[in-house]
Amino acid sequence: MTPNGTTSDASINDRLEQLEARIDDLESENGQLRETVARQSDRIEDQQAQIDSLEDEVERLQEENTRLEAVTDAALKKAGANKARIAELQTRELEKGAHLLDENVDPDSLADTVDRLERFTKEDGNTYVRIPDSDDPLDRGGSVALSHGDLLPIQQLARMDDDMLHSSTNSLPARLAARLWRARTNPSVGDDPWQDGCKEVQEYVKASDMKHWIRRQESGVSDAYAKKLVSRTIDVLLELSKNRVAIRKQTERKNGLPYTERRVLLKTDASIPGKITESDRSPETAGVHG
C-alpha cells in the first residue's frame, strides 16, 4: 500500500492478471467439462439405444419362445394321437391275423385285447410279430401279411373255393378271372396257363392259351363263345386287380405267318399286396413275448 493507504497500481494490475489467468483456466476447464459431458451424453444415448434394441430383441424372443412352446405342445399332442391311432390300427390288423414287422410294433401301446405276441423270422431275414397261431391271410411267407380287407378284389375271390365263388358272384367272367388268378398263385391247382416272363415281366398268359384254358374249365363251351369269354375275363381281371395287370399286343408266328395276339402281363413292379417270390416258405418261429 502507499503511505496514504491506497493500493498501488502495480498490485492492482498483478491481481487483475491473476484473476484473468484464473478465468482463462476456469473457462478452459469448463470447456473440457462440456466436451466430457457431451461425450458422456452421446455414450449414454448410444447405450440407451442398445438397451432399447436389446429389450425389443428380448420381447421378440419371448414371443417366439411362446409360439414354439405352443407348436411343440401341439406336435406332442398330435404325435401322441397318431401313436394311439397306429396302435389301434395295429391291434385291429393283428386281431385279423396280420404279420407286422417287429421293429414297427410297440407291444405296450396295443389294446388290452392283444395280451400276447409271437415273434418269428421269415425267409427274408426280418423278424415279425403276430398273435400266436394266427395264419398269414395269403398262406405264404416272406412279406408282411395283410388282412382280407387289404387284399385286391381279385385276391379275395381267388381265395374262395368254387362253391363260395358261385355264391359270391353270378358273373362267369368274374369266376374265371378268380380261377385264373388262383392258378397263378396256387401250385396245387395244376391247370396253370401262365408262363414265366423275363426282364420287367414276371408272368404272362396268352389270349389263345386262356381260350383253351376256359374250355377246359367250362365243359360244353364252344370255341367262339370261349373267345368272347376271353375278352370279358380280361376286362374283369383288369377291374378286380385295379389295373395291376397290363394288356399288350404281341406279334406271333404260326405256320410261318405272323399274327397279333393279346397278352395279360403281370410286371415285376406291379403293386400287389403281399406279393412274394417263389422261394418264400413258411416262417420260422423265433419266440413269444407278451
pLDDT tens for each residue of 86-128: 888 888 877 777 788 888 888 888 877 677 777 877 777 788 8
Alpha helices, H only, the chain: 9-95, 153-158, 162-168, 172-185, 207-217, 223-240
Q: Give the long-range contacts of residues 273-279, CB within 8 A, separation 24 or more.
A: 273/146, 273/150, 273/151, 273/152, 273/155, 274/137, 274/138, 274/140, 274/143, 274/144, 274/145, 274/146, 274/151, 274/155, 275/143, 276/138, 276/140, 276/141, 276/142, 276/143, 277/142, 279/123, 279/142
Confidence of residue 281 (pLDDT cuts 50, 70, 90): very low
Find the helix or strand (DSSP H, E) in which 260 lies: strand 257-267
For 120-178, the DSSP string reads: EE-TTS-EEEESTTPPPTTS--SS-B--GGGS-HHHHHHTS-HHHHHHH---HHHHHHH
Confidence of residue 147 (pLDDT cuts 50, 70, 90): low
- Give the residue with greater pLDDT, 63 vs 97: 63
pLDDT tens for each residue of 177-230: 999 998 887 777 778 899 998 888 889 999 999 999 999 998 888 999 999 999
Global pTM?
0.48
